Amino acid sequence: MQKKNMQDLERRLNQLSAGEGLALIADLFPEKVVFSTSLGQEDQVITQLIASQNLPIQIFSLDTGRLFPETLELLARTESKYKTRIKVFYPETTSVERLVSDMGINGFYESVENRKSCCYVRKVEPLKRALAGNEVWVTGLRAEQSPNRHAMKRIEWDEVNQILKYNPLLDWSFDEMIAYIDKYKIPYNPLHNKGFISIGCAPCTRAILPGEDARAGRWWWEDSKKECGLHVK
């Protein structure tokens, strides 16, 4: 997409609600829009917006093999509530076997490099397969989630994955999101009620302490940007 066309589209989307924006994107890129859900609260809002409008947007999720049981149970509840099927992508078996053989079952605790290798095998590579052949990738990113996300735009070009990335909830606050979930009785992970704000793989996620950043519970043992490689500039 040319720069001018991108700017025009961004202006249009900035004037629309999240639901309206999703409908516009689905109309502009028929059968070429996919939404990646990690079953977090933001993603549950977007799933509801897609399902309530019956939009032709494929919803998919990544099962890393290390998810909380509560996350998998929520996936089933979400499919049941919205009468939809969430396509699940898994890491390649041989890649996981090689990873564990090389660094051990929990070798990601030993270094940032090991952790990123694990994230690549279990998340980044499956994501590439999920995005292949599509033109727009919808995400649940919000600007206030972390300092790394403040500079993101409503819609932007993802150079790594060669796809447009649309962030319909970018300017939503945490309180707005919770109010929407309560209003529409959207199912969510019970771990959120126990201080788990950002939920990923079980070995890599802990509840946050009062006053901590929302992403502090992810990879808490390391001093990093708290990203797994799915969302990079």
Which residues are the active-site residues? 228
Q: Strand 58-62's sheet: what is its strand order?
A: 87-89, 58-62, 33-36, 136-138, 163-166, 155-158
Antiparallel, parallel or unpaired: β 87-89 and 58-62: parallel
Give me the residue label for tokens 């924006």: 21
Amino acid at 177: M
Q: Quote the strand ranges of the chain, DSSP E.
A: 33-36, 58-62, 87-89, 136-138, 155-158, 163-166
> First-to-last CA distance in the chain?
18
C-alpha–C-alpha distance, residues 156 and 93, integer Å: 32
Calculate ∠ Cα 107-111-117, nearest 5°: 65
Phi, psi of 201 (to 5 degrees): -70, 145
C-alpha–C-alpha distance, residues 80 and 43, integer Å: 16
Give me the residue label for tokens 């403040």: 150
